[in-house]
Amino acid sequence: MLRLGNREFGAHEPVIMAIVNRTPDSFYDQGATFRDEPALARVEQAVAEGAAIIDIGGVKAGPGEEVTAEEEARRTVGFVAEVRKRHPDVVISVDTWRHEVGEAVCEAGADLLNDAWGGVDPKLAEVAARYGAGLVCTHAGGVEPRTRPHRTTYKDVMADILDVTLGLAERAVELGVRRDGIMIDPGHDFGKNTRHSLEATRRLGEMTDTGWPVLVSLSNKDFVGETLDKPVKERVLGTLATTAVSAWLGAQVYRVHEVAETREVLDMVASIAGHRAPAATRRGLA
């Protein structure tokens, strides 16, 4: 059982986490939800299309203009409070690696801290414990936040992913983070080249076999683009194919830009796996 905010999710219940970037320079939407009005509209649309989690980020993952903790908080804290007011039952996640920001957004009503940089700030897990928030434990290959991998090598990439994420998860439990609020994430593209991310996907069952809920953040990423030789805006089909494979291998939470399309893929895979009844069964019955 995964418990986040007021929501509980069963073991075979796929969960969509919709991305809302409060940045002017995001790699995918180029700042489309930087201002409050379009960002709130994005939340409304995502919830209507089936997102259970809204993931709010105040700093883009890649290199760029420096964003201080104060500026990151300015971009996210008030927005978290407004989303909390408008959507009391939605799970609010904040994508941050800084404990100062984590504390501020939890005060504003956030339910989950999405630490995409693999515990680079060890105090972030302490914040999650103190506020009863959930925590995403990600493999980022030990790189510094907002840097790209350079000639990264692993003797066994999945062994490293498991070592890091399970270590972070167990440390979080020891600090007092609720076990049923912790997810592990292989960290596609983070500290990895394309072959590493493909192997992590192919071997995702090794993560799901641990019993921890697995979150995958696949949406329009570089490993999809390089695999198919597609620019950012033409990676949706590759993303959805990777989503289907990840769902078949047991991932539970999907951090995405395209909510409606992801919902259909996850519903189809769940029905093939026998975890969801078809929405209609007319064929051959008349």
Give the pLDDT confidence of 214-272 residue by residue, as tens digits: 999 999 999 999 999 999 999 999 999 999 999 999 999 999 999 999 999 999 999 99
Active-site residue, from 255, 263, 276, 283: 255
Q: How many domains does the chain have?
A: 1
Q: Please tell me the distance from the alpha carbon of residue 55 to that of residue 94, in angstroms, as a whole number.
A: 5
Largest Cα–Cα distance of the chain, in whole Å?
64
- Write down the pLDDT at residue 285: 87
Active-site residue, from 221, 233, 263, 283: 221
Q: Please tell me the distance from the alpha carbon of residue 228 to that of residue 90, in angstroms, as a whole number.
A: 35
Q: Please tell me the distance from the alpha carbon of residue 280 to that of residue 286, in angstroms, as a whole number.
A: 13
| 87 touches 58 (CB < 8 A) | no
Annotation marks residue 255 as catalytic? yes
Annotation marks residue 151 as catalytic? no
pTM of the model: 0.96
The model's pLDDT over 168-182, given as tens digits with 9 standing for 90+, comes to 999 999 999 999 999
Residue 220 within a domain:
yes
Residue 284 within a domain:
no
Domain at 196, CATH number:
3.20.20.20
Determine the structural domain holding residue 151 and report its residue range: 2-7+15-273
